[in-house]
Amino acid sequence: MTASRAPGGGAARWRLAGIGLLGLGVAAAIYIAGRLHQPDYSFTMFGPDPVPPKSLLATIVLALAVVQVLLALWMYRKLPLADRPPRPVPLAHRVGGYAAFALTVPIAVHCLIAYGVQLTSPRVAVHSVAGCFFYGAFTAKVLLVHSRRLPGWALPAAGGTLAVIVGVLWYTSALWYYNGYELPHL
């Protein structure tokens, strides 16, 4: 029985709604700050051309996100053909998540200070908004991890959302760079 149908399920729904609203609030706050911020195109913490190192970091984050999804599937016994996970798997998942998050911070700081949130083209708009949502989704996932008595689907949904957002961010930035400053046609 899921928490939403169990006794006290109303409290779980309110807790889940509060976590979702807090995540959206974080995303909205970053969006507003980025829109109000005057871009400083001269700001750099990656040298004269910030795109190559940021693309490399984004690619590492994408690889870590894939590993995170696989580890989560293994921990929850949803990985086909995998035996029960050994004890280090949850720790590896947690450490990998911290590492992935830590690698996003310098990218986000540079983007926010140098560019802010821009809506100048579809690629830039999707990338800017996805960047804001990443930190909101991360906030929600951290709160969900530490919340008990929530529906069983909530944590995998938050983790999956984070992985998808990382993919969107990588596609609209690193892949764009690796593909000669052009998005590949799907």
**What's the pTM value of the predicted model, to 2 decimals?**
0.90
Q: Please count the CA atoms within 13 angstroms of the CA of 78 that sit on its side-chain side.
A: 9
Q: Tens-of-pLDDT digits for all 186 residues of the chain?
A: 344 444 457 888 899 999 999 999 999 999 999 999 999 999 989 999 999 999 999 999 999 999 999 999 999 998 888 899 999 999 999 999 999 999 999 999 999 999 999 999 999 999 999 999 999 999 999 999 988 788 889 999 999 999 999 999 999 999 999 999 999 987
